[in-house]
Amino acid sequence: MTSPMPSLLMRLTRLGAFGALAVALLVWPLYAVAASSAATYQQIDPVDEALVPVNQFTYAEEPTGADEDIVAIYGNAKGAPTAYVFVDESLVIRPEEKPALVLLKAPAQGQPTQLAFVRFFIVRLSIGAFLGALVLFGLGALLRRRAAPATLEPAAT
């Protein structure tokens, strides 16, 4: 009598391999959805709210239209404009001076999620899941080979 264990292990490795392969392939559409909702913001360290009208008045005297000058009204720029996902709208500033420029206040705790950060982990998750699927497919093949019935050779007469 044979044990049902090799058959169960073969099914589990096949199921795990197909699951890992599905994960490796399905994270990319999820990334595409996240990327489609991403927007580019200039992150700033905001100045005190009482200073904004003073800065706007100063800017109105000699409007240059330069992004740096408009950013300086609302705060200090932190790096280059970057694509962010899942942004809290309460942190977004759309300046009257240039509506196309979108500013993002630096939150008190944590950082907003950058699209590049999401891509970094999606790539590694996809590669890891694909390698896991390969290992499980190989393990399943090894189990099938070991579970194959031995052939009896005819006895020499």
Average pLDDT over the chain, rounded to an integer: 87
Of the pLDDT bands very low, low, confident and very high (cuts 50, 70, 90), residue 125 is very high
Report pLDDT digits (tens) over 69-104. 888 888 888 989 999 998 888 899 998 888 888 999
User: What is the distance between the alpha carbons of residues 76 and 44, in angstroms, rounded to a whole number?
Assistant: 5
Tell me the average pLDDT across 3-14: 79
Does 1 have pLDDT greater than 50?
Answer: no
Residue 65 Cα distances to 4, 9, 53, 55, 121, angstroms: 76, 67, 17, 14, 38
Tell me the average pLDDT across 129-146: 91
